[in-house]
Structure 1
Amino acid sequence: MSLLELSGVGRDVRLPDGSLLPVLAGVDLSVAAGEHVSIVGRSGSGKSTLLNVLGLLDSPTAGSYLLDGQPTDSLGGRRRSRLRGETFGFVFQQFNLLPRRTAEENVAAPLLYARGRDFFTRNRAARAMLDRVGLSARALSVPERLSGGEQQRVAIARALVRGPRVVLADEPTGALDVETGAAVMALLTEVTAENGAALVTITHDLSVAALAGRRFRLDAGRLTPVAAGDALAAATSDRTDA
């Protein structure tokens, strides 16, 4: 059984004039535990919207989404939030770090909602994860004291610290140099494999996309698989997405 399963999913956005803008149309996607899937597409193709639907941040306006075999359309707000925190680790394109909190506090933040030992050892776990992304020396620095690449690695450590079942990564190497980006992708792949977690990457970087076991192209809200031998469509460098 698939861990994530979208069937005919659509997502419309209401514009200020009251009209509806279709962002996703008829998306079918299944992702198994332990699988690495990548999605590429030009800006405005709906990649970030698709990631938000997968992560229970947005709801489809058409079709169905099963999470671990259970429908998500009838989830209440509290249950949806709890399930999101228990299941997903997010690597956001804009980092979304807490501005007045240290790197360690940012990474430990998801464990504030944990129970028992995970809650009481959250700072130790955060330091260990910062060490894995090469930032142990920056644990007490606030985001404004970190470079863009360092902030990205803090965001990745935060996504991984709770051992999520699914990691959703939006441009995970976007702010990194080639060498650091390769190391971060190796880390994402290693940690998700250790936990048997699924990894879904949204990326403009074709070398990052090529690391996935299955690859897809999103164009005008429609998702199509890319065969192993096919070239992925070139993506623009503009990172503004729907």
Structure 2
Amino acid sequence: MSLVCLRDVTRTVTLPDGEDLHILRGVNLDVAAGEHVSIVGRSGTGKSTMLNIIGLLDTPTSGSYELDGVDTTRLGEGRRARMRGEDFGFVFQQFNIFAARTAAENVEVPLLYAAGTQLLRRRSIALDMLERVGLADRADSYPGEMSGGEQQRIAIARALVRRPRVILADEPTGALDPDTGRVVMALLEEVARESNSALIVITH
């Protein structure tokens, strides 16, 4: 069974002049655990909208979206928020890390919403993940002291620290030079493979 299953998903918004803008039209998608999928297209074709729907940041206008057999379109916002925190890891082009927090503190953030052992051991879990992405020696450094590639590795560590079932990456190498981008992408794929996470990447 597919982990992510979209059927006939549409997304329509109404413009200020009353005209409907059809962003997605009847999208079907199946992604299994451990599978790596790229969503490719030009700017403005609805790629980020689709990623937001998969990550439960947005809802489809029509159609169905099941996550591991659960119909997400029927869930309340509280349940959707819990699933976002537990089941998804997000990696963005602009990193979206906190400038006033160290690398380790940035990676700890998702663990603040965990319970039990994960919450109590959040520092050591964060340090383990930073070591995994090659930043063990930069744990107490701030983002402003680090390169773009290092900042993106912090973002990857943060996205993966709770071992999400689905990793959503929105042009994760768009702000990096080509060589650094290849290294970051290889790292993202490697860690996703080890976690058996579904990896869905938006790219041009």
State the TM-score bracket (shorter-chain normalisation): over 0.9
Secondary structure of 2:73's match? coil
* 2:88 counterpart residue number: 88
State the 1:22 CA deviation. 1.1
Q: Which structure has more helix as a fraction of its residues? A: 2
Secondary structure of 1:60's match? coil
Within 5 Å, give how 1:212-227 maps onto structure 2.
Answer: none
State the 1:66 CA deviation. 0.7
* 1:77 counterpart residue number: 77
Instruction: Work out whether residues 133 and 184 of structure 1, in 8 Å CA contact, stay in contact via their aligned partners in 2.
Output: no
Structure 1 CA distance for aligned equivalents of residues 177 and 126 of structure 2: 24
- Root-mean-square deviation (CA, aligned residues, Å) is 1.5
Instruction: Work out whether residues 53 and 60 of structure 2, in 8 Å CA contact, stay in contact via their aligned partners in 1.
Output: yes
1:151 maps onto 2:151 in alignment? yes
Structure 1 CA distance for aligned equivalents of residues 148 and 187 of structure 2: 18
* 2:127 counterpart residue number: 127
Structure 1 CA distance for aligned equivalents of residues 22 and 144 of structure 2: 37
Q: Aligned residue pairs: how many?
A: 204
* 1:35 counterpart residue number: 35
* 2:67 counterpart residue number: 67
Secondary structure of 1:45's match? coil
* 1:164 counterpart residue number: 164
Instruction: Work out whether residues 152 and 184 of structure 2, in 8 Å CA contact, stay in contact via their aligned partners in 1.
Output: no
Structure 1's unaligned 5+ residue stretches are: 205-242
Q: Which has the higher mean CA deviation after the structures are superposed, 166-175 or 124-133?
A: 124-133
Q: What TM-score, normalized by structure 2, do the two folds share?
A: 0.93
Within 5 Å, give how 1:163-202 maps onto structure 2.
Answer: 163-202=163-202
Q: Which has the higher mean CA deviation after the structures are superposed, 183-192 or 24-33?
A: 183-192
* 1:50 counterpart residue number: 50
* 1:105 counterpart residue number: 105
State the 1:130 CA deviation. 1.7
Counterpart code for 2:163: G
State the 1:153 CA deviation. 1.5
* 1:12 counterpart residue number: 12
Structure 2's unaligned 5+ residue stretches are: none
Q: Which has the higher mean CA deviation after the structures are superposed, 1-10 or 192-201?
A: 192-201
Q: What TM-score, normalized by structure 1, do the two folds share?
A: 0.79
State the 1:179 CA deviation. 3.2
